[in-house]
Copies of this chain bind each other. A is one copy, B any other.
Amino acid sequence: MHKEIQSRDVFYVSDGTAITCETLGHVVLGQFAFEANEKTFPFVETEDKVCELLKRIQHSYERDGVKPLVFFSMVIPEIRERLMEAPAFFYDVLESMVQRVAEDTQLEPKPKLQRSRSVGKDSDTYFDRISAIEYTLAHDDGVSLRDLEHADIILLGVSRSGKTPTSLYMAMQFGLRVVNYPFIAEDMKMLRLLPEFEFHRHKLFGLTIDAARLTQIRENRLSGSEYASTEQCEQEVNTIESLFRREAISYINTTALSVEEITTRVLEKTGLKRRLF
């Protein structure tokens, strides 16, 4: 070895988007202490592209004196074969699992390009997804309360409790139509639910957050404001949690959660299913 290795070159390679390789490779590498220099090579479908990539891998190997890691998925057999010529450690993110499923189920796999959510193949999915995003954008932050009968879920919470990112994630990744509504001072004072929501009670779901974290998030946005003050945040959080309890609205605390975790917990609690993968 030419030097002490504390970092490694990592290549994500696919004849598709390589997003699955990135996602999985990144999680796998998260279990190791070395620093990963990650580079992504999507749509490696031609001899030219694979040649260029082979040069890059060769260069990395010569420079570091150790083989870089290559997480890949590759359907085109000739390109796959060429890729294997590179001086690298290879991890096929799908192959071994596909083979084991084939053995276990005694069914033949039919390899195809990993074209997740491609338009050509499944135009309905395309429109479902786009219309979920549009619906959710149109119903973000209380902008519109029309057409609630088409909502899959209605998220309630104080400003900065995570409603907008969660709503957009649910729409984009899961195909759900999401309304979100921020509780503003007036509603708070009256401790009331808007009459528009009465008919859709079963769709209501609350997000809350620790007052200290809310202060931190609001400070990040409007430093020194009344809006970001500890008193204001505590009072809003207490009020909305009282409202959720009084109205028997399920809710979760988002303080330590990512949007993925919030989404997953909301689906778990409501029994709502994702509409697309």
Contact = CB atoms under 8 A, between A and B. Distances in A.
B260 A17 contact: yes
Interface bin, chain A: 35 or more
Contacts of A226: none
Each complex incorporates copies of this chain amounting to 2
Interface in A17-31: 17-20, 22-24, 26-31
A3 interface: no
Interface string A161-189: 00011001100100000000000000000
A101 B117 contact: no
A77 interface: no
A265 B129 CA distance: 20
Contacts of A31: 94, 98, 109-112
Nearest to A31: B109
A94 B27 contact: yes
Interface string A89-123: 10101101110111011010111101111111000
Interface stretch (A147-155, A234-242, A251-259): A251-259
22 contacts: A19-B260, A23-B277, A27-B116, A28-B98, A30-B112, A31-B94, A31-B112, A32-B101, A32-B102, A32-B107, A32-B109, A40-B267, A42-B265, A42-B268, A89-B104, A91-B101, A117-B260, A118-B256, A126-B258, A130-B165, A137-B164, A168-B172
